[in-house]
Amino acid sequence: MADTIQLLPDHIANQIAAGEVIQRPASAVKELLENAVDAGATEIRLLVKEAGKSLIQVIDNGKGMNETDARLCFERHATSKIRQIDDLFHINTMGFRGEALASIAAVAQVELKTRRSQDELGTYLEMENSMVVRQEPCATAAGTSIAMKNLFFNVPARRNFLKSNAAEMRHIIDEFTRVAMAFPHIFFSLSHNDQQVFHLDKGSLKQRIVQLLGNAYLSRLVPVQEQTDYLNIQGFIGKPDAAKKTRGDQYFFVNNRFIRSAYLNHAVMQAFQDLIPADSFPLYVLFIDLNPEQIDVNVHPTKQEIKFEDEKIVYAFVQAAVKHALAQFSITPTLEFDIDAGIQQSDAVAKPFTDEHRQAASSSELYQAFSKSNQAHFIEKGGYSGIGGSGAATGGAAQEKAMPSWKDFFEKPATDKHTGGLPAGKLGDEEGELYFDWEKPRKKWQLLEHAELLQIQLQYLIAPTLQGFLLIHQQFAHERVLYERYAAALVGKIIASQQSLFPVTLELAPADAALLTELLSDMLLLGYQIDPFGNNSFVVQGSPADIVQGNEKAAIEQLLDQYKHFSSDVKFSRREKLIRSLASQHSIKSGTALTQVEMRRLAEDLLRCAQPNITANGRPTFIDFNQDYLSRSFGL
């Protein structure tokens, strides 16, 4: 009788093990870049084709390998970092398990060229299915060049699980960014399909952050520097006005290794408490250096989750360091002057501020206006003019220009063209399984035909119904209307697009450019006509007909930011994230005054929705004060 338990062949065991380490092209990019860093390279180049599916190549000028090491490096658990078990607790390098190259050789065709500086000739190696198919001396530059081709060629089921090229490229950029951020003293470059995406010269950490995350952060970074006997913390945080709706620009490094830690993230968020809105996330790039004996990095295959010996101490130090940085460096604009020595001898400076002076100053109209609560707007027009004249008027005009274009949405008739192309007639059942019933509002909440609606606090609408009245939250209501409109557009009812008279050129950070590329086809259905223009640039040829023209650049940047905010929730599909982002961005915001026509149009369109009473995020759009509820409330 044959034995039940069998030893797996090496090549199958390697493929199974590879699944833990190489989950997608970005996983291989991470491992190869970290190996190049460990080799002492000062220049590292990453070449990618078809988002890593056909080629990932890393070229470095590190120390290289001799012929024996070149062959041994592809064996499982072959490593130069570990000699005894205690070495695991003194790790100062990026890789140490000896699994990366073995895993790559198990699921891709690999070509290796490597040479030490003291050797005249290097070694060339070809591998397939973990087997060496060719080995010979070669002439090559000092360092190592490793190319992996046709990822998962021998595991087609796993290859079928890969996402689109745009999606996989975003993951590659994320891994590249994490490694390049940690080593600003190393030159890095990234090319995709022979087009350069990043060219990162050696420099300071601040320069590297700006190179990777965009010039918008150039003047919005606050340095963090704390040294203690237990650990050192250094890096940068963003000023509160740089906070975004997404966690994307947040990086923790422990001993130069990128980690994920919700616990330490909470420490930073607590330090920013009351400085940023509750739904915003600050930028931070923080490096924590401590004794390797105080941490365990060997708890996860990707080494992105680590265990601290005393995480409470680390939490306290991180929070204190960020608070100290925010307190030490001004987060609001200031004016600084070198005071002339003569001025310091003037009466205003030299003489004391007497009670008579204090009484005269406090009785002035200007003092009264600012010392009483909510009285600043009572400053008379003929009084204090200030340096810049009437700043309030200028600011008001700027705000009005930037206001979202909800007016077109209300003022245009409810034709197919302006309802997302939705046909008249019922598209869902009475409980609201699908989209709009554009012809009639729900009978349950039918509005009184000639009754006026009331807006209160520029945020809520009171709409009389046959059974009582509805208290509608205008922003949440509009989000629901737009959400269902966009959902219908993505199933074939394309939203009308308005051509731009003067097309706008949009330049994005590489990560955002990769994200926008992934979304272009769906955005076309939603009314955005955007063409790639090369080198992370795009031309906006058209935008949805019912939004204001002339602000396309800001609108798309905000859309990407909102999309990344939803990306943290893995249960959402790409299209779901997109329509939620657009609905949130284009909805009427609280504080916006509405006319009678606009209020009624919003209320009626809300009641035509398939699910009118909640937003896509589950927040209520209105409260129904019907006759039964009112009677019970008054004990009748």
pLDDT, residue 138, reads: 94
The pLDDT tens digits of the residues spanning 558-588 come to 888 878 766 655 567 788 888 888 888 888 8
- Looking at the fold, whether 484 and 616 belong to one and the same domain comes out as yes
Q: Are residues 238 and 296 in the same domain?
A: yes
**Helix or strand or coil: residue 244?**
strand
Is 376 within the bounds of a domain? no
235 shares a domain with 119 = no
- Of the candidates 482, 474, 468, the residue with the CA atom closest to the CA atom of residue 628: 468
Q: Could you tell me the pLDDT band of residue 554, with boundaries at 50, 70 and 90?
A: confident
Helix (H, G, I), strand (E, B) or coil at 528: coil
pLDDT at position 332 over 60: no
418-432 average pLDDT score: 34
Q: Lowest-confidence range among 380-384, 493-497, 533-537?
A: 380-384
pLDDT for residue 390: 33
Examine the domain organization and report whether 187 and 227 are in the same domain. no
**Same domain (yes/no): 196, 211:** no
CA atoms within 13 A on the CB side of 506: 27
The confidence score (pLDDT) of residue 636 equals 82
Instruction: Tell me whether strands 143-149 and 231-238 are parallel, antiparallel or unpaired.
Output: unpaired
The secondary element (H helix, E strand) that includes residue 18 is: helix 10-21
Residue 82 reports pLDDT greater than 60: no
User: What are the C-alpha distances in Å from 258 to residues 120, 253, 254, 299, 613?
Assistant: 37, 4, 7, 14, 43
Let me know whether 22 and 36 are in one domain: yes
If asked whether residues 447 and 571 sit together in one domain, one would say yes
Number of domains in the chain: 3
> Same domain for 50 and 147?
yes
Residue 143 in any domain: the answer is: yes
Please determine, for residue 12, whether its predicted confidence score (pLDDT) is greater than 70: no
pLDDT digits (tens, 9 = 90+) for 355-386: 665 565 555 554 454 444 444 444 344 333 33
What is the per-residue pLDDT for 97? Answer: 41
Residues 41, 158 share a domain = yes
The DSSP call for residue 443 is G
194 plus 216 within the same structural domain: no
Report which listed range, 176-180, 216-220, 336-340, 422-426, is most confident: 176-180
The enclosing domain of 519 has a CATH number of: 3.30.1370.100
Per-residue pLDDT tens digits for 307-329? 778 888 999 999 999 999 998 87
User: Domain end: 275, 308, 328, which one?
Assistant: 328
Where do the H-state alpha helices sit in 233-354?
A: 262-271, 311-328, 341-344, 347-350
Residues 20 and 66 in one domain: yes
Q: Whose structure tokens read 């093990």? A: 17
Number of other CB atoms surrounding residue 213 within 10 Å: 23
| Domain finish residue from 328, 353, 386 | 328
The pLDDT confidence band at residue 226, using thresholds 50, 70 and 90, is very high
In this structure, are 190 and 260 located in the same domain? no
595 found inside a domain:
yes
Which pLDDT score is estimated for 188?
Answer: 97
Residue 16's pLDDT is what? Answer: 55
For residue 384, tell me if it sits in a domain: no
Model pTM greater than 0.75?
no
Tell me, what CATH number does 92's domain have? Answer: 3.30.565.10
pLDDT band at 77 (very low <50, low <70, confident <90, very high): low
349 falls within a domain: no
- Return the closest-CA partner of residue 58 out of 146, 149, 125, 140: 146
Is pLDDT at 400 greater than 70 in this prediction? Answer: no
- Rounded Cα distance between 313 and 291, Å, is 14
Helices first, then strands: H and E counts in the chain: 21, 22
Look at 146-150, 277-281, 439-443 and tell me which has the smallest mean pLDDT. 439-443
The confidence score (pLDDT) of residue 20 equals 55
In a domain, 475, yes or no: yes
Residue spans of alpha helices (H) in 221-283: 262-271
pLDDT given at position 216: 81
Q: Where a domain ends, among 173, 200, 227?
A: 200
Predicted pLDDT at 85: 45
In the chain, % helix, strand, coil (3-state, to 5) comes to 40, 20, 40
Q: Does residue 568 lie within any of the structural domains?
A: yes
For all residues of the chain together, what is the average pLDDT? 77
Q: How confident is the model at residue 429 (pLDDT cuts 50, 70, 90)?
A: very low
Which residue range is the domain that position 314 belongs to?
Answer: 205-328
Whether 449 is covered by a domain: the verdict is: yes
